[in-house]
Structure 1
């Protein structure tokens, strides 16, 4: 009988001992936009058509556009990296400026 497969922290790359506590994560980033900017002379339909033409004519790989809208990553992290992630994703104090 073999033991559990070795795990590596996705964040720092450290090998995790089989007896060490680790955390599984799934991070999903999904782009959203509530309203198109229609402040110009064009209507919403014209604006959408213009955006589609830009996308079709551009040199970008469609997968790049897709990853800008939906990106997903799974892995495991060690306790130290979990602390960093939790601080990073916690709400900042109200008096901080933009990034």
Structure 2
């Protein structure tokens, strides 16, 4: 098998042999907010002030962008697939995190 790069599980870091089953994933987290808290009720001036505050703030632009849109893709091994599916599947028993 020439030309095939070894695959590594994005979750556990284990190498995945060419003969093993692996699973591709693409995960996109996009921030949303239904109501914007602005002092004056959300008028144009308030939004312009908020944009100005963000532009002048000390935060790194990339960090702010990742808070709104975060995307990753890769492969996981069979064992990690089970964990990911269990974490992301709705559960009627436990509504808490993890």
**1:77-88 aligned within 5 A:** 77-88=76-87
Aligned-residue CA RMSD (Å): 2.1
For 2:29 and 2:61, locate their aligned partners in 1 and report how far apart those are by CA, in whole Å. 17
Give 4+ residue runs of structure 1 displaced > 6 Å after superposition.
none
For 1:21 and 1:98, locate their aligned partners in 2 and report how far apart those are by CA, in whole Å. 29
Q: Give the TM-score taking structure 2 as reference length.
A: 0.84
> Structure 1 residue 8 and structure 2 residue 35: aligned?
no
Structure 2 spans left out of the alignment, 5+ residues? none
Q: Give the TM-score taking structure 1 as reference length.
A: 0.84
Cα deviation for residue 3 of structure 1 reads 5.0
Structure 1 spans left out of the alignment, 5+ residues? none
- In structure 2, the partner of 1:70 is 69
